[in-house]
A and B are shown apart, each in its own frame.
Chain A
Amino acid sequence: MGRLAVSGVSKIYGDRHAADSVVALRDVTFEVPDNQFCSILGHSGCGKTTLLNIAAGFERATAGAVTVDGAPIDLPGWRNTMIFQEYALFPWMSVSDNIGFGLEMKGVSRKEREDITRHYIGLVGLEGFDSKLPYQLSGGMRQRVAIARALAVQPNLLLMDEPFAALDAQNRAFMQEELERIWQREPKTVLLVTHSIDEAIKLSDCIAVMTSRPGRIKEFVKVELPRPREEDDPSYIALKRRLRELIRDDFVSQ
């Protein structure tokens, strides 16, 4: 379960009547049905990370609300968990302890925790690395641990903040495929922030294109291409061109 509704969300930094206040988001509204993968696409500074932070409960909206299945999000927690660009693994915990951390916070018994952890280690392809510490892993493997750790708590909404931006191009493409595979095996409502058009098209059921200052939804695009998505598919190319133009307009107007 996890129907995400973003309704009329605005975020103003500073006193809203002061001259130096910054409008990061203005009246952002869209919905993501249960178990759909939605991307927020936009240039840096368009407020997409602010929106994600509100959905994660790290920040409060100045107006409007983000709800999952009708319940408003106001605090961070496992129901709306986040995957970070910098992985944010606990450096003193082994791979399995990292994955089990959220379960422990949820009060899952040790025995059950071990079973769930083992399942997710398998799902992200890290068998045999259970007892390794994060510093012993490559960037791609660290992000797999972070994905497994987030999925293990069974969130209603999974948030991702440019999760593959720190990886090299090859690893990034590979991890995108992996994420799609994992998500198809265990569907979740996902909200992913990215500035990569290809990443958005490859992974998403819907794409919210944002423009900056103030951050608004310029267009909400449904992606109906069959999966897996091929870059040389004419409709892929057409969609890519359309998204690029939507974003470029914003860049020019800046």
Chain B
Amino acid sequence: MAAPPVAIEHGAVPPPRNRWRLRLLAALAVLPNFATLVVLLIVWQFASKVWLPRIDPQMAVLMPAPSTIAVTAAGMIASGELFYHLVASLKREAVAFLFAASAIPLGIMMGWWRLVHDQVNPIMEILRPIPPLAWIPLSILWFGIGDEQNEFIIFLGIFFPILVNTIVGVKNIDPILIRAARSLGASERRLLARIVFIGALPQIITGIRIGLGVGWMALVAAELVGASSGLGFVINDARSMLRTDIIVVGMLTIGLIGLLIDAAILALSRRLLPWSLAMRK
């Protein structure tokens, strides 16, 4: 007699209400890890508000207290100023990403056809080690100061990580899957779209994560020199007015948004590509 097949359970999922409670407990459990941070903030607050003003009032300006920063941040959020510059930066990052996404088809072609790889790779290997920031002088002459110049610098930051990871992703696809698809009658075009692209997708997404991170760093640098809006502009502009509190708010925002972009892509890829995590185990 044939026994009925049994599926392997992968981590039973508790009911939703229970799951939220578990998440809350997990969040509470990490609270003690912030003890040192809190102590540091208190020391910082004391130094900026009490100690530094007493010995040298000018020094106190260079070291805004956490409370001052919080008040400034609240003001900048309320006035919409922070949001305006954040959107300007995100828009540049997004436009640059759209252009940099051309690295995906290029990477697939380079990973798939040896001839393309051999022809294009030397060009890429010459361009890739040049830091995006080294392009700033030339890009200002090409595009002038403004969005295009900024986007070009960011584009360079995003493009190469995506390209390199796409090539690796294509080359790492299990060759048996290619054979299986061919044996089921897949044409070359279908093979590329349905097997090669999707098989490389986890690695492509890794490239996008790295690329957006590099791009975000390049963005701030590009805005420092060639923009009249954006988070990089905010912190550079505040420097000329000695508004250290605004500088720190801008810096924290840049860090936080970079973290959020990365976390969002990671969460998205976990949800959309559950199989890729299972394969890595």
Using a CB–CB cutoff of 8 Å, the interface residues on chain A facing chain B are 56-58, 76-78, 80-82, 84, 86, 88-92, 101-102, 105-106, 125-126, 129, 132-138, 140-141, 144, 149-150, 153, 174, 177-178
Contacts and interface: CB of A to CB of B under 8 A. Distances in A.
B54 interface: no
Contacts of A144: 5
13 contacts: A58-B182, A78-B185, A82-B179, A88-B177, A88-B180, A89-B180, A91-B276, A105-B187, A125-B2, A129-B5, A138-B5, A153-B184, A153-B185
B183 A135 contact: no
Given A105-B190, A135-B278, A82 B2 contact: no
B8 interface: yes
A143 to B, nearest CB: 11
Contacts of B279: 91, 135
Contacts of A137: 7-8
A36 B196 CA distance: 35
Contact of A81 (B5, B184, B198): B184
A80 B185 CA distance: 9
Given A133-B274, A138-B5, A140-B5, A82 B183 contact: yes
B81 to A, nearest CB: 44
Contacts of B182: 57-58, 76-77
Interface string B158-197: 0000000000000000101101111111110010001100
A138 B8 contact: yes
Interface of B: 2-8, 10, 174, 176-177, 179-187, 190, 194-195, 198-199, 201, 273-276, 278-279
A171 B186 CA distance: 31
Nearest to B277: A135
Given A82-B179, A88-B179, A90-B177, A132 B7 contact: yes
Contacts of A88: 174, 176-177, 179-180
Given A76-B182, A77-B185, A135-B279, A125 B177 contact: no
Contacts of A129: 5, 7
A91 B199 CA distance: 8
Contacts of A90: 177, 180-181, 195, 198
B264 to A, nearest CB: 21
B183 A77 contact: yes
Contact of A78 (B179, B184, B195): B184
Contacts of A133: 274-275, 278
A10 to B, nearest CB: 23
Contacts of B274: 133
Greatest chain B CB density within 10 A among A90, A92, A132, A178 is at A92
A77 B174 CA distance: 19
B279 to A, nearest CB: 6
Contacts of B2: 125, 174, 177-178
A144 B10 CA distance: 20
Given A88-B177, A136-B8, A141-B7, A102 B184 contact: yes
Contacts of A81: 183-185
Greatest chain A CB density within 10 A among B3, B6, B180 is at B180
B185 A141 contact: no
A132 to B, nearest CB: 6
A178 to B, nearest CB: 7
A178 B3 CA distance: 11
Contacts of B5: 125-126, 129, 138, 140-141, 144
A135 B275 contact: yes
A202 to B, nearest CB: 16
Contacts of A77: 182-183, 185
Contacts of B199: 92
